[in-house]
Structure 1
């Protein structure tokens, strides 16, 4: 929250942790908007933009999926031209900022590129049109800088997905340099972030290679069923072990005398269980049925299609844990080692085998217990299982080491990006020029221009309203009555031979 002094200058918000250069000052994002009639807006809600309005072509609808952290993602959604014209108040043009007000890592923002053409923003997307004297490129980086995200994180609300909201976006604190320095910062950041972007792309390509390598290791260990070695038994998952669905969650079990922790889909990753965020429910009844034992394999029952069936082994830590119906549990039979079951399921995940069994509801893929039971499951001898587990584990460890190295490289690149942005918006990335107009003067000029434009719009609206009232009053005025013709007088001379006719009155 910024503080305005008696002379109208905006002071530093309470969260400011850096001392700004003398020519800089703090402002709220809303202070930097243009003098247009509607420079800030969110998208239409409810029936104003419903499923029936979407088309295969036409003007674009910019959604949360389009807003990256500093980049525009070209995900295409369209509406009809006629409906676009009805929603013109929500239009986003080339050069506008589009800011996500819902989701993770807020605020996320991007600039609308030229090729988008006619477009509107959808709900939970804020369109912000900056004043022409404010560098949009600089403002974009200021919005996604660490200090801004830190402030936003303290202002989030909502259950489930975090929300910042229109007012939260408008009140975001921004350290404002002089206009000329804004351009210098934007140019310097553009050059440095482009190099970081190249590194990020290389890391992404390397990750793709590692994923391919991991898949090859798993497929080499367990080939397709037609190529199973002689001596391997052909079973199904239901024959090789016991498959169960976890316990459904219910409001009645949020509290109770026997609260116990449980694992859900958010805890189960490939070959890893994250126990840092466990939830609990009351198990006054039925805990034994859902209690996990060391060696149990958990698979995601509901996930995005390419992650459904993602498996991990429960190794007994923490003890006394159950599982919910967002997970499936496989408990190996006597002829199957738990490590072998994990290997088989990881192989099926990377080979896309589970994707052939899923059913999709509301964008979530589901792998039912009955469908998992029917999936093929090879069973070599126990000695062969041990050998393949050890051999494959060693090969996967080398792949995992590459993945870990890429994690470190990515973390280093992200840290470098955060440091770069922090330096830029503390005034330490480019030198200050004493001849630059101070930012305080810029903000005052923007405010005066905006107030003048608003006063002119109000005056125009008043004049239009008066003209309408005057026109309406004139239309409602009754027509004036015509004057009767004058009565003849006795002094009017008569023509020769003309006789006067006198009116007669008859009385009863």
Structure 2
């Protein structure tokens, strides 16, 4: 059962939360009656507040919250319930106005600077020393304090682990406390534990279309269970040891998946390699892959690798048999348009031909979006983001003015291939006429083939060229890559007889459907493992 649980999606993350949940319920380590009770810590917390002159905020309906928490689980011997307002000496936040940013100065910390789980000043922005001095009078983070996400990403808490001075943005809360009351590492664990997360959910405002937020005044009312200081030490040691063990479990799981992916990749790569050079070896290795298909497609990544190798085999002529009676493209293409064998990227059947896109298709870019110049009737058009591999996403289709004189030139017809010029250059799909009237923007190439090309086969060739990197030699730019009209027109594609193209696509449809079923089975297995994990954790917590 543990093997099943460890392979569940997010299993290690759930187990980490489970450990913290147990810890903050007093069920991870034993209680020791010799420990000084936590009630003494409340007295020390009050003394610390009084010493610093920290104002005590009235916590609204605190007794009702205590009763609610006590009902959630039995409070262990020696523990007490309290609030952050009573246990801390300072709860504040950072600058409420956007400061002046400079190239050199004092680090200015926002939530992103501790999103990894620990504070890092490596990529902060900087503010002037004078501005920092003013902010630091109210909000003065120092080593041993807690920083907590207060706006947007709420509740994530980290320890300040540096003596470097820095200022905070308003999205970050600062919590200072007596280390005689709570050990810093214990307090960090407490704030990141499920019971405290539930409290944050109680007090947060926002949600939906509004940004989540924890108000400072409400943070004072967060109820927590506090153990004796000696038990805090034992909890920290136990949690750290358990987390180290879970780190090893996660590392082993990742390595197992990497090995599986390498096995799949090498097996499929060998299949593709043999496809063009060794017929007998190809047949033998094909049998090996089929016999081990379950092992080769155990994860989503491996299933997609299988989908990729099918495309590789399809464009190399190894997916269906050739038929000598079918009209070869060599019979209707001028010899000048066929690339000789010296320029072939890989071997293809004799009845096929290597040709450039520009020799067999007509490509053009769509209409440039220019609000100042565009005139005409507002019409729906496709952008780069609407084109996915082999399909379209029409959930966000925009409109732009198109004149009547442009309609014939820019209107899409069933069978048109739309190819992304930027973003992911080469990504393409065949327009299927799902809407009777649709146009396209300049970020897309439209390719039409007068004869001899199945548009879906052409998209398959583009997908393979994108996977193996061949399309990159036709792309310009480094940071922002573009597949220009010239680059697309010069791309070499392997062209089989048209009837063979149809048979290739029919075979791919069948095989891809099988792959979709495999992927669904993986999803069902993952869901089963996830339900098993949650059931085990629920039973474990429910018995506490």
Q: Tell me if TM exceeds 0.5.
A: yes
Q: Aligned pair in 2 of structure 1 residues 90, 217: CA closer, same or farther (>3 Å)?
A: farther
Alpha-carbon offset, residue 96 of structure 1: 5.0
Q: Aligned pair in 2 of structure 1 residues 339, 78: CA closer, same or farther (>3 Å)?
A: same
The one of 400, 422, 428 equivalent to 2:516 is 400
Alpha-carbon offset, residue 340 of structure 1: 0.8
Q: Distance in 1 between matches of 2:470 and 2:250?
A: 34
The one of 283, 298, 304 equivalent to 1:211 is 304
Q: Distance in 2 between matches of 1:40 and 1:145?
A: 21
Does residue 314 of structure 1 match 2:407?
no
Q: Distance in 2 between matches of 1:325 and 1:193?
A: 51
Match of 1:384 in 2: 500
- Secondary structure of 1:277 counterpart: coil
Q: Distance in 1 between matches of 2:368 and 2:458?
A: 25
- Secondary structure of 1:315 counterpart: coil
Match of 1:242 in 2: 362
After superposition, the C-alpha distances for 1:307-348 in whole angstroms (9 at most, x for unaligned) are 432222222223312222333333233121111111111111
Alignment of 1:128-139 (within 5 A): 129=175, 131=177, 133=182, 135-139=187-191
Would you say the 8 A contact 1:238–1:372 is kept in 2? yes
RMSD of aligned residue pairs (Cα, Å)? 5.8
Q: Aligned pair in 2 of structure 1 residues 171, 407: CA closer, same or farther (>3 Å)?
A: farther
Alignment of 1:33-432 (within 5 A): 35=89, 40-41=93-94, 48=101, 50=103, 64=112, 67=115, 96-97=146-147, 99=149, 106-107=153-154, 109=156, 111=158, 126=172, 129=175, 131=177, 133=182, 135-140=187-192, 148=201, 154=207, 156=209, 176-180=223-227, 206-223=299-316, 225-251=345-371, 258-285=377-404, 286-303=406-423, 307-360=424-477, 363-407=479-523, 429=541
Would you say the 8 A contact 2:382–2:439 is kept in 1? yes
- Secondary structure of 2:346 counterpart: helix
Q: Distance in 2 between matches of 1:386 and 1:199?
A: 45
Alpha-carbon offset, residue 383 of structure 1: 1.7
Q: Distance in 2 between matches of 1:146 and 1:257?
A: 56
Alignment of 1:468-487 (within 5 A): none
Range that drifts further, 405-414 or 205-214: 405-414
Would you say the 8 A contact 1:272–1:313 is kept in 2? yes
- Secondary structure of 2:487 counterpart: helix
Q: Distance in 2 between matches of 1:413 and 1:75?
A: 39
Q: Distance in 1 between matches of 2:250 and 2:61?
A: 35
After superposition, the C-alpha distances for 1:250-290 in whole angstroms (9 at most, x for unaligned) are 44599x97333222233222223222232223334534333
Q: Distance in 1 between matches of 2:474 and 2:302?
A: 26
- Secondary structure of 2:368 counterpart: coil
Unpaired runs of 5+ residues, structure 1, are: 1-5, 54-58, 158-162, 433-508
Q: TM-score, normalised by structure 1?
A: 0.55
Q: Distance in 2 between matches of 1:42 and 1:431?
A: 45
Alpha-carbon offset, residue 169 of structure 1: 9.5
Q: Distance in 2 between matches of 1:192 and 1:407?
A: 27
After superposition, the C-alpha distances for 1:290-314 in whole angstroms (9 at most, x for unaligned) are 32222222233332xxx43222222
Q: Distance in 2 between matches of 1:144 and 1:331?
A: 56
Alignment of 1:482-501 (within 5 A): none
Q: Distance in 2 between matches of 1:332 and 1:386?
A: 15
Instruction: Tell me which of the two structures has the higher relative contact order, counting C-alpha pairs closer than 8 angstroms and 6 or more residues apart.
Output: 1
Alpha-carbon offset, residue 400 of structure 1: 3.1
Q: Aligned pair in 2 of structure 1 residues 35, 75: CA closer, same or farther (>3 Å)?
A: closer
Q: Distance in 2 between matches of 1:416 and 1:397?
A: 29
Q: Distance in 1 between matches of 2:203 and 2:502?
A: 50
Q: Aligned pair in 2 of structure 1 residues 126, 62: CA closer, same or farther (>3 Å)?
A: closer
Would you say the 8 A contact 2:417–2:446 is kept in 1? yes
Alpha-carbon offset, residue 229 of structure 1: 2.3
* Count of residues in Structure 1 that have an aligned counterpart in Structure 2: 391
Would you say the 8 A contact 1:332–1:341 is kept in 2? no
Q: Distance in 1 between matches of 2:471 and 2:427?
A: 9
After superposition, the C-alpha distances for 1:221-244 in whole angstroms (9 at most, x for unaligned) are 224723122232222222232223
